[in-house]
């Protein structure tokens, strides 16, 4: 994809976000993450040369490793987020390259990431991913045990929990999606109320549902197909 098309898409998303903020009377920033998992390296380079300065996100450890490695010489200070299922044998790449791991979804994986972070002498920023839909394959912690989960992961010294992440159900029924997003929003607020405001990121919303997510408290949207697209 060419630069001007990418810029157009970015401006469209940014305008939409401004309109949504006005509509719901929101006065905090909504961070946009440029999900690059469907995009070619050429498209990512076109995007980077626009100097828009948004984090990129990948969902496969090898792609993160290859792309972060390759693009480091193209541009300084690219921020990478990891948003995919985490296999423990790939954690070393994920910790090496991720500024934020959004998809921590089990205590076992959190422990492996913590160990790798110790090895790398790094405090790894993470989000806890919760399963807010009834779709098993989406991954995520069980929402009912959020206090126990939050407390266990908080005790891991080289992890810093910055917030929560979830993927809305893939359905045309808007009320289902809104209920799911509101559920994660209430957990986010409850953890902040109980533990003196440790969380600042509520990552919900993708190309098809970011308005609903922002309506229900999201301050980080992860946009792939309608931004850097499929080519």
Ligand X SMILES: *Cc1c(COP(=O)(O)O)cnc(C)c1O
Provide the binding-site residues for ligand X, judged by CB under 6 A: 35, 37, 59, 83, 167, 206-208, 222-225
CB of 120 to ligand X, least distance (A): 24
Rank residues 36 and 114 by Cβ distance to ligand X and give the closer one. 36
Minimum CB distance to ligand X smaller for 95 or for 167: 167
Find out whether 230 and 43 touch, Cβ atoms under 8 Å.
no
Residue nearest to ligand X (CB): 224
What is the helix (H) or strand (E) element at residue 215, kind and residue range? helix 210-215
Neighbour tally for 188: CB within 10 Å: 24
| Cα gap 93→66, rounded to integer Å | 10
Q: How far is the CB of 167 from ligand X (least distance, A)?
A: 5
Considering the complex, state which of residue 83 and residue 101 has its C-beta at the smaller distance from ligand X: 83
**CB neighbour burial string for 16-55, b if at least 16 within 10 angstroms, e if fewer:** ebeebeeeeebeeebebbbbbbebeeebbebbbeeeeebb
Q: How far is the CB of 200 from ligand X (least distance, A)?
A: 19
Shortest reach from residue 18's CB to ligand X, in Å: 19
Q: Would you say 118 or 177 has its CB closer to ligand X?
A: 177
Residues 6+ apart with CB under 8 A from 8: none
Q: Give the whole-angstrom CA distance, residue 43 versus residue 32.
A: 17
Q: Closer CB to ligand X, residue 106 or residue 158?
A: 106
Measured from the CB of residue 222, what is the shortest distance to ligand X in angstroms?
4
What 8-state DSSP symbol labels residue 156?
A: -
DSSP state, residue 132: -
């Amino acid at each position: 994809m060419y630069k001007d098309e990418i810029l157009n898409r970015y401006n469209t998303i940014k305008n939409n976000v401004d309109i949504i903020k006005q509509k719901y009377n929101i006065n905090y920033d909504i961070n946009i993450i440029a999900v690059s998992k469907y995009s070619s390296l050429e498209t990512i380079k076109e995007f980077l040369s626009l100097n828009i300065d948004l984090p990129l996100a990948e969902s496969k450890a090898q792609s993160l490793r290859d792309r972060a490695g390759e693009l480091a010489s193209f541009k300084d200070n690219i921020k990478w987020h990891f948003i995919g299922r985490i296999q423990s044998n790939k954690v070393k790449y994920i910790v090496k390259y991720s500024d934020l791991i959004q998809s921590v979804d089990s205590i076992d994986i959190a422990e492996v990431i913590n160990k790798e972070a110790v090895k790398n002498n790094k405090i790894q920023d993470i989000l806890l991913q919760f399963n807010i839909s009834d779709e098993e394959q989406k991954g995520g912690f069980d929402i009912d045990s959020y206090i126990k989960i939050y407390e266990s992961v908080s005790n891991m010294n080289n992890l810093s929990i910055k917030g929560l992440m979830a993927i809305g159900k893939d359905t045309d029924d808007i009320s289902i999606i809104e209920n799911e997003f509101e559920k994660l929003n209430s957990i986010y607020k409850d953890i902040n109320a109980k533990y003196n405001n440790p969380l600042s990121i509520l990552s919900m919303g993708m190309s098809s549902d970011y308005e609903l997510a922002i309506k229900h408290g999201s301050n980080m949207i992860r946009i792939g197909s309608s931004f850097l697209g499929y080519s």
